[in-house]
Amino acid sequence: MRECSLESSVPDWIIDHPETTMVFQKLGIDTCCGGKSLEYLCQIQGLDQDIVLLKLVETIKST
């Protein structure tokens, strides 16, 4: 399993950590984004990258 980061694509996050799908859906982040990085998607949607990353990590740790 690779380490996911802001540079990882959303599909990579979901492949490695399926439990993060719900986080992406709640935040309105497209999970079929053509391989764009999480960082890019946060920027274009005006989301705070640090908060999104924190929510993802918390979700992974809680499972």
Kindly tell me the burial class for residue 47, based on how many C-beta atoms sit within 10 Å of its own C-beta (0-12, 13-18, 19 or more): middle
Q: Which stretches of the chain score pLDDT less than 70?
A: 1-2
Place of tokens 């946060």: 42
Give the pLDDT confidence score for residue 2 in this predicted structure: 65
DSSP 3-state assignment of 42? helix
Give the pLDDT confidence score for residue 27 in this predicted structure: 97
pTM (2 d.p.):
0.89
